[in-house]
Structure 1
Amino acid sequence: MGHIVATVLGKVVVKLMKQGASETFFPLRGIPSSNPSSLIIYLGAIPGHCIYVKLKDDCLIPPTCIQWKSHCSAEAIIWESFFVARQAKFDKLMKGKIVDNKKNVRVGSNLNDPIEL
């Protein structure tokens, strides 16, 4: 479903899940605009529904959906290159959190909180 929404809207769709794997979906065709970071939609997946989530600019995003590279056009492959650094930081953070789950979970400061209320 994420591929369809991303392609129709010409935007990056980030599906966030509490249980399971969060994923990033890029459009299957077309090239990004000059500022693709402004073209992100964050959706929180809850059983049977999706809700719009407002996050701060330049927040970390989960890895690309595995099937995207198999189905995207040659021109669309550039989408991912704009977000590789943010995805790498997300992976590093998640690996650190998994290790910390065996200990106590660290509490971050409000400055690092990605959700705007």
Structure 2
Amino acid sequence: MNSAQELTDKAGTSGLQDITLEALFNNCADISHVELTTHSGHGYSLLDGSALDKLWEHPHWGTKLKKLRLPDQHTSHESLTRAVRALTKEKDKLLVQLVSVSELKKWEDWELEVWHTNFRKQRKQDIF
């Protein structure tokens, strides 16, 4: 059981900032899928979209990137959404998903409820 809740930019997954995502894009030339998600307050991410701006500014980064799943953050939602729209306008084959996950109690058990917003070619589509 590894929830990776105690990891940070220096060591891993929870509490990530754009600097980590930027390093991933810069150093993993053949990467095709990236997924950073959190759920129900068990982990968080501090993305503001600056890594996506850098990806857009450096066309040789992420040339094979097809899908990017990131946590939908209400605190920095506007700047992240702006960066996603700009990036998907330039990289028209890239699918970016902003994902929200919560736990929902059903029939004496817990289930994960997932919402994601797709962005492709600068267009937004909510999926439930």
TM-score when normalising by structure 2: 0.31
Higher relative contact order (CA 8 A, sep 6+): 1
- Identify, as 1 or 2, the structure richer in strand: 2
More helix by share: 1
TM superposition score normalised by structure 1: 0.33
